[in-house]
Structure 1
């Protein structure tokens, strides 16, 4: 199974759950009005964070915002029907199938890559990496230290791990995949790191694990997880005519760029500290205030004043 098919398999259940949460959209404002920016996200923590952060900035510019939690197919149909304006969460290639219907119609515009460097592959604690395990091919030489075990997620979500074990080139056909849950796996990672025990597990970014633990990702898994550590990018999309109707908001959206480390930290505020997406967004912006200059370059408030000054004032910066 290649990386794209696997990520689609992982995301499919999330799409199904998110679709259950779909609710009828509210009546749209005047088609020529940009005062209310209508956004959606599918209930994933990373997209809740980035959407919340965008909402904080837009409110600092004097706009009203509205965010709905909807299934991906519902989000796209709502954008086509002009009931939604903005979606910050097109994961490529994971969501390619869902966007394919709209890609060549012009009904939805992809205007910006807001995250690069997302990944999904094997990881190990930093001290294991520094001891010489930097590639999939290094696992076999240290089989005893790993107890011949790989730690994965829920049953049915570890096909690639089994594929790696069954791939003779790695020499680990006698290893075992420990199937658990995200929380269970990360609890084992935590215990192992605290006890200086070796562990190999499936890791991904963005996620708080990348800031909570000192971990490194292994090379050598391209045949199964895809290049660049199972790499993916995330894009911002808007409905067909939104960029022309609302050039100031679109200017912000075309400059609003995140990175994996800041998203991982911000997701932790939501998952571990119980913050709302906007609360997490406020803290994230304050911790990365240097990014505001680029995000708000040539962006005005709704009333035409300097956007950077207004947003900083709204945040007490």
Structure 2
């Protein structure tokens, strides 16, 4: 074997080795199917904000960079359909279904599942009135004098206001001669708190998850006619994803399919972050650190960006 042949052979081996090393990162990236940047679309609602923060604090120890894209719900849905946002955690159905379902039907957006259980809305009253026997919307008309035939509600044009206006117009639950006092959410809840603190009757628009269910001694009444939505005012809160994201990252898609909390838990998050004005990241980290077993369930079968078991990585991070 002559020297020239040997040099050519060595050069060929080195070239193949270099090509293999150059392709290795691409091969690994293809195997994991993970993009380390995740864009979460986030409407300016307390529940959507803190829930997105919790998810962000779960994903960071797995090697993901989480970016929050703040925009109104319709803009978030449009951005999902265009692939400019990856995921949204606050799609209320049926309330907002008309805004996102056209994109779902076109295959631009994928519904990954219900991330919140126990979400509901309706007429709310102080708990002392429930103890006196008021438990259902059917009974409101009997208490008209106590309530001065008035429902306190939020901003004109809101979904809650539209429901109350419809009830008055159609005399649903005998509310035909009632009227609505509308204001901002903060002003309505301040009025409700004053009434409850002074043991005075009041009926107002309530919903959960929200800090009101933690801070106020209140209860949402039963809605047998489903005025406030299907199944007595209950709503689904869905996780939506861009179809591009689902194809690009099946690993993280699995996490979002498994992510779910109950409304009492989210109400506590909102109470701490919005009502008590605590730092959102600290609220998220404290809760995750105290509920590692529950969070590990969200991460079942999920890997880090580097391909390691996600639940183990999360536990190691929060037990440092």
Coarse TM-score class (shorter-chain normalised): 0.7 to 0.9
Counterpart-to-counterpart distance in 1, 2:78 and 2:103: 9
- CA displacement at 1:55 relative to structure 2: 0.7
In the alignment, which of 201, 205, 210 is matched to residue 208 of structure 2? 205
Equivalent pair of 2:74/2:99 in contact (CA under 8 Å) = yes
Moved more, 78-87 or 119-128: 78-87
Counterpart-to-counterpart distance in 2, 1:148 and 1:94: 26
Q: Which runs of 5+ in 1 are unaligned?
A: 1-29
CA RMSD after TM alignment: 2.5
- Label 1:235 to 1:168 Cα distance change in 2 as closer, same or farther (>3 A): closer
TM-score by length of 2: 0.80
Please identify runs of 4+ aligned residues in structure 1 that moved more than 6 A: none
In the alignment, which of 274, 280, 285 is matched to residue 271 of structure 1? 274
Q: How many residues align?
A: 288
Counterpart-to-counterpart distance in 1, 2:70 and 2:156: 27
- CA displacement at 1:197 relative to structure 2: 1.7
What CA deviation, in whole Å up to 9, does each residue of 1:215-274 have, x standing for no partner? Answer: 222124635323334221111122224334322211211111021111111112232233
What CA deviation, in whole Å up to 9, does each residue of 1:269-308 have, x standing for no partner? Answer: 2322334543332233235444113112122222222322
| Partner SS state of residue 268, structure 2 | helix
Equivalent pair of 1:119/1:228 in contact (CA under 8 Å) = no
Equivalent pair of 2:34/2:305 in contact (CA under 8 Å) = no
Counterpart-to-counterpart distance in 1, 2:251 and 2:42: 22
Counterpart-to-counterpart distance in 2, 1:121 and 1:226: 9
Moved more, 254-263 or 38-47: 38-47
Q: Partner residue of 2:85?
A: 84
Equivalent pair of 2:126/2:202 in contact (CA under 8 Å) = yes
Q: Partner residue of 1:313?
A: 316
| Partner SS state of residue 225, structure 1 | coil
Equivalent pair of 1:42/1:71 in contact (CA under 8 Å) = yes
Matches within 5 A, 1:97-108: 97-108=98-109
Q: Which runs of 5+ in 2 are unaligned?
A: 1-28
Q: Partner residue of 1:249?
A: 252
- Label 1:200 to 1:81 Cα distance change in 2 as closer, same or farther (>3 A): closer
Moved more, 61-70 or 278-287: 278-287
- Label 1:165 to 1:96 Cα distance change in 2 as closer, same or farther (>3 A): closer
- CA displacement at 1:167 relative to structure 2: 4.5
Q: Partner residue of 1:58?
A: 59
